């Protein structure tokens, strides 16, 4: 049945490819080209500067500072989010396994899942604006609570370089955990009950069960989660820009904001900003390739 094969391939493939080529590939190619110029963005004049932007980049302390924060995000956000996700998901799935209390456990589970998932349906802009107000030192929810329990001088949170970055990181975790609770929960329910029951009869504790049974069986899902969260951690731009704008004293800066600030913010060095973007591109690419390769190898091992 060869008839209709070619028309289908062409008509199915060409429109998406055209859109992708025009709106994704061509801008990126141009961005690579801009990264080798000193274009300032308010006129058409620009000179070729070769790799000078990239050399500047290597010695730019602000860029390295931002990269360090991205590295922390990359290391912390996936671990904490996945750990919390696994913890809550196992609580909720096994909540129904507690003897006579099982019925209430199940009802609670549905409600918990409903609530935990809330942040997932809110836009990042809303999350950022809301949390910025929550962290506000005088009129914020958090310090209101701290003062109520007797803390006379609660921290200034986003105004304090010791806390600002971690406050943003916490919001990142907060907004993601719910999704992974639901994701892991669904994966756990796909695990046959008898496995758990057999282990329970052997007298294993819940922690052992999580470590020995649940996590290995969920490994595939966890890895997918890892990749998504890693890519999210490399971005973080909207949260940081709206909550702290990188401050105080650049303590919560991230590479995305550096690029934005260099082009649309305090400076208009589009050439240099594009160079930062190109560096970011290779960074994201290597993280993703690394993650995908590990994932593929492991999938073979487990399937």
Partner 1 sequence: MKRREILRRSAAAGLLATPAAGLLTGCATSGGDDKGDGGAYQGTKSEQNPLGVKEDAPLEVVIFNGGFGEEYAKAHEAMYQEKYPKAEIKHSATQEISKTLQPRFVDGSPPDVVNNSGAGQIDFNGLVSQNALADLGELLAAPSLDVPGKTVRDTLLPGTVEVGSYDGRFLVLNYTYTVYGIWHSTKLFADRGWSYAKTWDEHIALCRQIKAAGIAPWTYAGLHPRYMSWPLISTAIKLGGPSVALAIDNLEPNAWKSDAMKTAADAWHQIVKDKFILAGSPGLDHKQSQTAWCQGKAAFISCGSWLESEQKDVTPAGFNMTVAPTPSLGSGDKLPFEAIRGTAGEPFMVPAKAKNTAGGLEYFRTMLSRKGAQDFTRKVASLPVVAGATDGVELPFGLATVVKALDASGANGFNWVYNNYYRKLERNLVDAACGEFFSGRISPTEFLDQCQRGADSIAQDNSVKKYKRAA
Partner 2 sequence: MSTVRAGVPADRPPRRETGVANVFSHGFLLLWAAMTILPLAWMLLSSLKSNGEIIADPWGLPEALRFDNWARAWTTAHIGRFFLNSLVVVAGSLSLTMLLGATAAYVFARYEFRGRQVVYYLFVGGMMFPVFLALVPLFFVVRSVGLLGTWPGLILVYTAYSLPFTVFFLTAFFRTLPTSVAEAAMIDGCGHFRLFFRVMLPMARPGLISVGIFNFLSHWNQFLLPQVLIPGDGPNRMLAQGLSSLAVSQGYAGDYAQLFAGLTIAVLPVLVVYVAFQRQIQAGLTAGQLK
CA distances from 218 to 205, 239, 282, 294 (A): 18, 30, 30, 15
Supply the minimum distance, in Å, between the C-beta of residue 167 and partner 1.
10
Question: Residues in contact with partner 1, total (CB under 8 A)?
Answer: 50
Q: Binding of partner 1 at residue 141 (CB under 8 A)?
A: no
Residue 76 near which of partner 1, partner 2, none (CB within 5-8 Å, type-dependent): none
Q: SS3 string of 255-296?
A: HHHHHHHHHCCCCCCHHHHHHHHHHHHHHHHHHHHHHHHHHH
Residues 77, 233 contacting (CB under 8 angstroms): yes
Stretch that binds partner 1, among 14-22, 79-87, 123-131, 168-176 (CB under 8 A): 14-22
For residues 142 and 155, give the distance between their C-alpha atoms in angstroms, rounded to a whole number.
10
131 part of the interface to partner 1, by CB under 8 A: no
Nearer CB in complex with partner 2: 119/246? 119
**Angle at which helices 270-302 and 255-263 pack, to 10 degrees?**
160
171 interacts with partner 1 by CB under 8 A? no
- Give me the least distance between CB of 264 and partner 1, in Å please: 6
* Nearer Cβ to partner 1 (236/269): 269
Residues 6 or more apart whose CB falls under 8 angstroms from that of 166 comprise none
- 12 binding partner 1? (CB under 8 A): no
The CB-of-35 to partner 1 minimum distance in angstroms stands at 11
Classify 96 as helix, strand or coil: coil
Residues within the interface to partner 1 (CB under 8 A) = 14-15, 18-19, 21-22, 25-26, 29-30, 33-34, 37-46, 135-139, 143, 153-161, 245, 247-250, 261, 264-269, 272
């Amino acid at each position: 049945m060869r008839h209709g094969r070619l028309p289908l391939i062409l008509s199915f493939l060409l429109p998406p490819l055209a859109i992708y080529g025009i709106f994704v590939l061509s801008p990126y190619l141009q961005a690579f080209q801009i990264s080798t110029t000193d274009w300032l963005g308010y006129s058409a004049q620009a000179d070729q500067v070769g790799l000078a932007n990239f050399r500047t980049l290597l010695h730019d302390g602000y860029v390295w500072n931002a990269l360090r924060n991205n590295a922390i995000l990359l290391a912390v956000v996936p671990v904490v989010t996945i750990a919390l996700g696994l913890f809550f998901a196992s609580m909720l799935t096994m909540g129904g396994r507690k003897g006579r209390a099982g019925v209430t456990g199940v009802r609670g589970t549905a409600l918990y899942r409903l609530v935990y998932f809330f942040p997932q349906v809110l836009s990042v802009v809303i999350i950022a604006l809301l949390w910025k107000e929550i962290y506000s030192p005088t009129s914020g929810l958090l310090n209101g609570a701290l003062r109520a329990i007797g803390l006379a001088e609660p921290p200034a949170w986003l105004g304090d370089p010791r806390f600002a970055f971690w406050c943003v990181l916490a919001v990142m975790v907060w907004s993601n955990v719910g999704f992974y609770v639901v994701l892991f929960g669904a994966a756990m329910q796909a695990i046959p009950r008898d496995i758990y029951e057999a282990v329970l009869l052997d007298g294993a504790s819940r922690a052992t069960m999580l470590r020995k049974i649940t996590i290995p069986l969920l490994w595939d899902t966890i890895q997918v989660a890892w990749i998504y969260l890693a890519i999210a951690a490399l971005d973080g731009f909207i949260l940081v820009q709206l909550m702290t704008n990188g401050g105080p004293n650049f303590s919560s800066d991230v590479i995305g904001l550096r690029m934005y600030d260099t082009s649309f913010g305090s400076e208009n060095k589009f050439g240099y900003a594009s160079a930062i973007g190109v560096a970011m591109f290779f960074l994201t690419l290597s993280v993703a390739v690394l993650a995908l390769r590990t994932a593929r190898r492991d999938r073979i091992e487990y399937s």
